[in-house]
Structure 1
Amino acid sequence: MMNWRALSHTKQERIWSEVNQLIKWKPGSRFHHIIPLDPYRMFDISSGMSGKASNDDVVRVLNDLETSILKAFQSCTGNQDVIYALDWQHDGYTFSPHQAMPKDEFGDWPVPIFPDRDYYFFFHQGFSWGLLDDLWKCTITVFGEELLKAIDKYRPILFQNR
């Protein structure tokens, strides 16, 4: 997966340290609230986890989420920029949203957009904007003015007000 470059252990530790300071996240504590930078918006994604929808509907909504977020990432980055993709307690990566986005054997990015097993965080290389998944609260939080504007332009079905 050429576009997805694994972070070295040292670099990953440095990035997590920065992230924990930036969003006041204390993983492993009873009070692991994520406090994103202003401006931010939190989107309820529980409908994507609902057992009520058909499998085809879920696949359609999750594919739309990935496509929409990728378009938003592309509109907020230059060709040389990278995004940090962090998976709590697993390997982290950098990737360019302007290159091919290969998927694993399950049809996912190495760090998926939709939180199905863990906390997944995406940050622009300069930490000026990002996307924070919280599986336990069924939310995706988007912060940073540039990414919020892009999300408004390429709004995923899952983020539509119902």
Structure 2
Amino acid sequence: MISLLAGLYDRRVMDEPVIELSGAEERRVWDRFYEEFGFQPGTRPAIKEPIASVTWSLATLLDEPGYERLDRLVAVVEQGLSSCVGPSGTLFALDWQHPSYRFAPQKAGGPGQPAWPLSPYPDGDYHIYLSEDFRMGSFGHPWEESLCLFGEELLDVAATEVDKVLGPSIRRAGKAVGPA
């Protein structure tokens, strides 16, 4: 049954690049996320950050007029995730307490395409991007004002550029990073 549902989703994503998850699928994905990441809303950090993870503060991101740094951060994270899932891969976009999605990043965000659901920037609730196998993604924490990227492949393609946008990280592998 699960493989049949996966096949139906695969065909739908080919036709519709952004699909809201059904109630059952959304619960399944969130349950797995809670379990695998030890998600505890309202805490800091709210997940057990994987060994292959880097977390940055977002506290000063919006201090400059024009939001150029925010736009650059969004572009870097979206490009990194897109390159890691490949031309036919899909991602989950989870928005705590709101609808969540499965989408094809290669078919979203460009001219004439639907926008990516959510943003890596957590504007009020937790925003999470996850690969289908949960091996990589991003976790935006709204109250801590932080962004965690995880997964070796994503870190390899995006961490240096995120450092340029946000400055030094605050945690690596879930452990605080001291002053340089």
Which residue of 1 is the match for residue 132 of structure 2?
125
TM-score (norm 2): 0.75
Structure 2: 5+ residue runs without aligned partners? Answer: 1-15, 170-180
**Deviation for aligned residue 1:68:** 0.9
Structure with larger Rg: 2
Distance in 2 of aligned mates of 1:19 and 1:135: 17
Question: Which residue does the alignment assign to 1:95?
Answer: 103
Q: Percent identical across equivalent pairs?
A: 25
Q: Is the 8 A contact 2:61 2:166 kept in 1?
A: no
Partner SS state of residue 76, structure 1: helix
Q: For residues 163 and 20 of structure 2, what CA distance do their matches in structure 1 show?
A: 27
Contact 1:88 1:118 in 2 (8 A): yes
> Does 8-17 or 75-84 show the bigger shift?
75-84
Distance in 1 separating the partners of 2:91 and 2:61: 24
Query: Which stretches of structure 1, 4 residues or more, deviate above 4 A after TM superposition?
Result: 29-32
Q: Deviations over 1:13-38 (max 9, x none)?
A: 000000001110133x6677211221
Which of 23, 39, 63 is residue 9 of structure 1 equivalent to?
23
Asked whether 1:48 is paired with 2:56, we answer no
TM-score w.r.t. the length of structure 1 is 0.83
Residues of 1 paired with 2:144 and 2:70: CA distance?
18
Tell me how many residue pairs correspond in the alignment. Answer: 150
Task: Tell me if 1:149 matches 2:156.
Answer: yes
**Whole-Å Cα distance in 2 between the matches of residues 19 and 112 of structure 1?**
18
Partners in 1 of 2:98 and 2:22 — Cα distance? 12
Q: Deviation of residue 119 (structure 1)?
A: 0.4
1:38 aligns with 2:51: yes
**1:100 CA displacement:** 2.8
Where does the alignment leave 5 or more consecutive residues of structure 1 unmatched? 104-108
2:123 corresponds to which letter in structure 1? D
